[in-house]
Chains A and B, each alone.
Chain A
């Protein structure tokens, strides 16, 4: 089976022709007035459309009319197109989202695993293809992809992602606690056969398809507010049109009902009403492209509102496993000697820690050509908790956990320098894990292991300041270490020695002050906080408990993506706001285009500032403009307007100029151009 390791490969292919075709069919299906009721504005347009049909059949239905059947038919067709375009905008977004969800055959972050078949042969498959009951083999360095039970083997496993504890845990079959493994943990030494106990479902996929199918129930709070406002606007324009009919009639001004209908349709906020749903769906799509799974659209809007962001340290900001960071010699030993010993003693240690010791030693210039060295290597095992080499010249070199090495040294009647315990304690206080280095029977030095910050997120969180978000890092470490790491990542504050219940308490506290709180974590110990926070983003490399508690999952395990998610959340709302402003400022220009055709009172010709060809062509041009602006705005709706981390002042100015002033000017130009074209035929 060919396996492509392209992480971003998830959209196999979308049949665009099919998407457009089904969107078209659905737009016609949704002409059903009962279905139109979901959008009051378009429902009124549809009623106008039915009125126009009757006027097409009998133009003098509401009194004598100068308009021919053809004129009315033309207006009727434009109204039909307005409704169809509006439906199409919604349907194309829905169908695109659905097509993308369906074409999602490989889940992001899928890893290659070795499945052990009943006949003991090994088959390479994707983790998403595993089923409950399958047995997989994991060896040192592998990520355990699923929750399962150890059936064979013994190994030390790094569970820092779940527990936040950096020390490895021993896993063996046949015991209650130590025989179960959790997804997201990593095997450090040896190997295991694991039986899959949980179903890896297509749940996220189902979720996505579901969202695309059933967009109506997913309205976000701000969308509900905006809809309330648009409904109020629709009502007031309806009132305007009806009273205008009565007043014009009273003034003996011959008023064409078709023209009044046209005025009403042009004034109604059709553009934004048609595009609200596409904007929402497009946002979800953009987040999915970021390789983030989101449980609902409301979360995106919530993310845009975020005031505070809690971050878990271990596994989120740091790698979650320890790296050698410092070598401390004891007594009269030189640092180079210690480094050389450490290098040799760790050479056969295949755990990440062992490898990190080698690279640290190299930095101290202590690289030893191993081919020149003869000896008996001792691998690191979970039992001995040390590794080393017995050199052919009789030197015994060891490196390992403090108590093991101490015991080993004392058993050989060894020598321990007096300040050893104090140095060990100091390292531990600063958040490091001390390893001792033994040469023969003397403990010559110490290596400090530390959890290192992910290089990709260095300084990245500084951008959250511009977005107005305070970041707080939570860690079980002591304050000193926490501060250092927080500073490196560009995080504002840190909360050291935080217990899970304290985290929840703090989050609740902020929430009661009305703040929207985000939490990023990956371990089981973060799960309660992830569940409590408004936005819980978990890392795909994290544990199942964390993923279940969270409402967003980052498949690439990159916590800085939260910044992009926040921006998308804001972009969605900003796009809605911009198009609403556009829709409303349009009305001013449309008044100037249409009113001269309605107010045929001598003296009021001065109103006709646009000098349109004729009354009828003015009406038809305004209607055509009103209609074609919907499909023209679909790309803006789907792409979203630009959101940058700039001062809100500048962003507002920019958007007001673009969509406010633009909304005022564009219809003047658009209607005039359409009139020049249409005027020839009418």
Chain B
């Protein structure tokens, strides 16, 4: 427990300090139109970006409509997918193959592309086995950077529309997300990782003879660089299948700690940006406190159940052992549990096997995947947070008898419909997907526990796909046509459905005038608002998913007794 307290305290203090800086940075750099007087940093980045705008023929000062904003993002994503599709399909013809000669089938390519462009990075393939060096080290990071930048744009656009009343320009948002957030931070992070001992080389493997004179090949690669975008971009896919459990990707306790910091930094910063743009830091403090409260609760609960271990094994042995199954000893129970609780909210990396975690930890993860607002995946977590703020404001407005308003903008039918679409999308895809899979591909195990666990895995797979998270309960044989195609579809619809509804919502709110604050205006930067926000966020997830979470991990726990 002592370790956990130190871990969380250090994590929070570093995280808040760094994300405050980043949040302030985003707030000044992503205003639209540009600030009248620019800081030196802004001028510097402008100079870098000017040639890119000129090359692409983009007018960075032009504000577009919400519809244009969405379709620009959408079609640029699709364009990239088409290009990458050919690159992957013909990977055996293209150069820089390394030792891999694997002809990827179309469903798998579609799954990989859908998974990467949606920032999900659910891996049904094994990177070092299925992908050539070109695919693994160039195509994947390309998609990872672009999907992450698209995610940041999708998060920033509704936030800017609501707070500043400006829709902005999708091209500048994506390009700025790359040049001002992702590239510089990833560069620094990669340097830190190299310093911590991660390999970073274009030499794909090291071959040597062991003492027993056996020829052994160790796969290396630009791992530190890859790791940086994997974490900062909330992607979660790595160039190595073992992900953050691999010693090259996560060599020490310190690197593990830093990885947790890096996964959470951008989502936290975006919420601090909200405070800057609203000119009300109390607002972001309230929201941040609620989200951090949930996160810390999950850290603690996961760690407690993991430290306790499996009571049956402990009873049998007559000794107390924590649950070490599937965990790396260099991270310890705390390092693994906190990492796991964090990634089920934001990214899809893994430093331990989620499959071996306590059912309570899995139930929490399923809750996070269904809720999506607890920091969430790059940009989209913010989108869901804003959506819950909208819902909370809607209910509060009704209870007070005034037409509800979100930060002074009136919420009308249009906004309620769009945000309902956002909330309905997840259960529709997940529950329908689970039901369909259980009908088409039931598990015929006679062991009731295995039977239930198969359902948990299916549920988790769809939940992780629909939440653009990408983590997984291993054990499903999921590299087949059904799983690849169904999840490619789920990830795609969930991502672009959410993107469309939230961008349209932003557009609809952008033009609305901000009402002046009066004595009858409910202040949203208060503890009461925080409570209602927390309650709304939890209850809207629980109401839909309660029976399903009870049936899977919770029943696994209960029927063990």
A residues near B (Cβ < 8 Å) are 221-222, 224-226, 228-229, 231-233, 235-237, 239-240, 242-244, 246-248, 250-252, 267, 301, 304-305, 307, 465-470, 512-515, 569-574, 576-578, 580-581, 584-585, 587-588, 591, 595, 598-599, 601-604, 606-607, 643, 647-649, 651-653, 655-656, 659-660
Are B551 and A599 in contact, with the CB atoms below 8 A?
yes
Are A240 and B542 in contact, with the CB atoms below 8 A?
no
Given A574-B401, A595-B547, A606 contacting B410 (CB threshold 8 A)? no
Are B520 and A240 in contact, with the CB atoms below 8 A?
no
Task: Answer yes or no: B14 CB below 8 A from chain A CBs.
Answer: no
Contacts of A247 in B (CB 8 A): 434-435, 438, 455, 548, 551
Are A604 and B432 in contact, with the CB atoms below 8 A?
no
A500 to B434, CA, bound (A): 66
A184 to B431, CA, bound (A): 66
Are B550 and A573 in contact, with the CB atoms below 8 A?
no
Smallest beta-carbon distance A316→chain B, Å = 23
Smallest beta-carbon distance A649→chain B, Å = 6
Residue in A235, A240, A512, A573 whose beta carbon sits within 8 Å of that of B398 in the complex = A573
Given A232-B424, A512-B513, A599 contacting B400 (CB threshold 8 A)? no
Are B416 and A236 in contact, with the CB atoms below 8 A?
no
Are A466 and B519 in contact, with the CB atoms below 8 A?
yes
Q: A229-B420, A304-B401, A601-B558 are in contact. List 9 more A-B contacts (CB 8 A).
A: A221-B412, A222-B403, A467-B519, A573-B402, A577-B395, A591-B547, A603-B559, A652-B522, A652-B532
Task: Answer yes or no: B36 CB below 8 A from chain A CBs.
Answer: no
Given A232-B424, A246-B438, A307-B515, A468 contacting B521 (CB threshold 8 A)? yes
Chain B, interface size category, equals 35 or more
Contacts of A588 in B (CB 8 A): 539, 542-543
Task: Answer yes or no: B413 CB below 8 A from chain A CBs.
Answer: yes
A570 to B548, CA, bound (A): 39
Are A577 and B398 in contact, with the CB atoms below 8 A?
yes
A606 to B410, CA, bound (A): 45
Are A225 and B394 in contact, with the CB atoms below 8 A?
yes
Task: Answer yes or no: B514 CB below 8 A from chain A CBs.
Answer: yes
Contacts of B424 in A (CB 8 A): 232, 235-236
Task: Answer yes or no: B411 CB below 8 A from chain A CBs.
Answer: yes
Contacts of A648 in B (CB 8 A): 400, 520-523
Task: Answer yes or no: B452 CB below 8 A from chain A CBs.
Answer: yes
Task: Answer yes or no: B544 CB below 8 A from chain A CBs.
Answer: yes
A224 to B416, CA, bound (A): 9
A569 to B550, CA, bound (A): 42
A559 to B544, CA, bound (A): 49
Given A304-B402, A577-B397, A603 contacting B518 (CB threshold 8 A)? no
Closest to A466 in B: B519
Task: Answer yes or no: B322 CB below 8 A from chain A CBs.
Answer: no
Contacts of A226 in B (CB 8 A): 398, 416
Closest to B557 in A: A603
Closest to A648 in B: B522
Given A247-B551, A573-B402, A584-B539, A239 contacting B558 (CB threshold 8 A)? no
Are A602 and B432 in contact, with the CB atoms below 8 A?
no
Are A240 and B427 in contact, with the CB atoms below 8 A?
yes
A571 to B411, CA, bound (A): 18
Task: Answer yes or no: B6 CB below 8 A from chain A CBs.
Answer: no
A243 to B420, CA, bound (A): 20
Residue in B452, B512, B546 whose beta carbon sits within 8 Å of that of A591 in the complex = B546
Closest 3 CB pairs of A and B: A468-B520, A577-B398, A570-B401
A574 to B400, CA, bound (A): 5
Are B518 and A307 in contact, with the CB atoms below 8 A?
yes
Closest to B409 in A: A514
Are B400 and A570 in contact, with the CB atoms below 8 A?
yes
Smallest beta-carbon distance A609→chain B, Å = 13
Residue in B518, B544, B560 whose beta carbon sits within 8 Å of that of A240 in the complex = B544
Task: Answer yes or no: B203 CB below 8 A from chain A CBs.
Answer: no
Are A604 and B559 in contact, with the CB atoms below 8 A?
yes
A578 to B399, CA, bound (A): 6
Contacts of A655 in B (CB 8 A): 399
A573 to B404, CA, bound (A): 10
Given A247-B435, A513-B513, A584-B539, A652 contacting B400 (CB threshold 8 A)? yes
Task: Answer yes or no: B65 CB below 8 A from chain A CBs.
Answer: no
B residues near A (Cβ < 8 Å) are 394-404, 409-413, 415-417, 420-421, 423-424, 427-428, 431-432, 434-435, 438-439, 442, 448, 451-452, 455, 512-516, 518-523, 526, 528, 532, 535, 539, 542-544, 546-548, 550-551, 555, 558-561
A512 to B402, CA, bound (A): 19
Contacts of A467 in B (CB 8 A): 519-520
Contacts of A647 in B (CB 8 A): 519
Are A242 and B435 in contact, with the CB atoms below 8 A?
yes
Contacts of B548 in A (CB 8 A): 240, 243-244, 247
Given A225-B411, A229-B394, A649 contacting B526 (CB threshold 8 A)? yes
Are B519 and A649 in contact, with the CB atoms below 8 A?
no
Are A570 and B402 in contact, with the CB atoms below 8 A?
yes
Contacts of A607 in B (CB 8 A): 550
Closest to B531 in A: A656
Contacts of A246 in B (CB 8 A): 435, 438-439
Given A251-B551, A468-B520, A243 contacting B432 (CB threshold 8 A)? yes
Are A301 and B435 in contact, with the CB atoms below 8 A?
no
A106 to B544, CA, bound (A): 54
A576 to B404, CA, bound (A): 13
Are B397 and A243 in contact, with the CB atoms below 8 A?
no
Contacts of A468 in B (CB 8 A): 518-521
A202 to B415, CA, bound (A): 40
Are A572 and B401 in contact, with the CB atoms below 8 A?
yes
Given A222-B398, A243-B431, A304-B402, A469 contacting B520 (CB threshold 8 A)? yes
Closest to B442 in A: A250
A632 to B328, CA, bound (A): 59
A656 to B399, CA, bound (A): 8
A-B contact pairs, 10 of them (CB 8 A): A225-B394, A225-B416, A246-B438, A304-B401, A512-B513, A514-B515, A515-B516, A577-B398, A588-B543, A648-B520
A224 to B415, CA, bound (A): 11
A647 to B522, CA, bound (A): 8
A467 to B402, CA, bound (A): 11
Given A247-B434, A599-B550, A236 contacting B395 (CB threshold 8 A)? no
Smallest beta-carbon distance A605→chain B, Å = 9
Contacts of A244 in B (CB 8 A): 547-548
Contacts of A581 in B (CB 8 A): 395, 399
Are A649 and B528 in contact, with the CB atoms below 8 A?
yes
Contacts of B427 in A (CB 8 A): 236, 239-240
A252 to B242, CA, bound (A): 36
A585 to B532, CA, bound (A): 13
Are A580 and B434 in contact, with the CB atoms below 8 A?
no
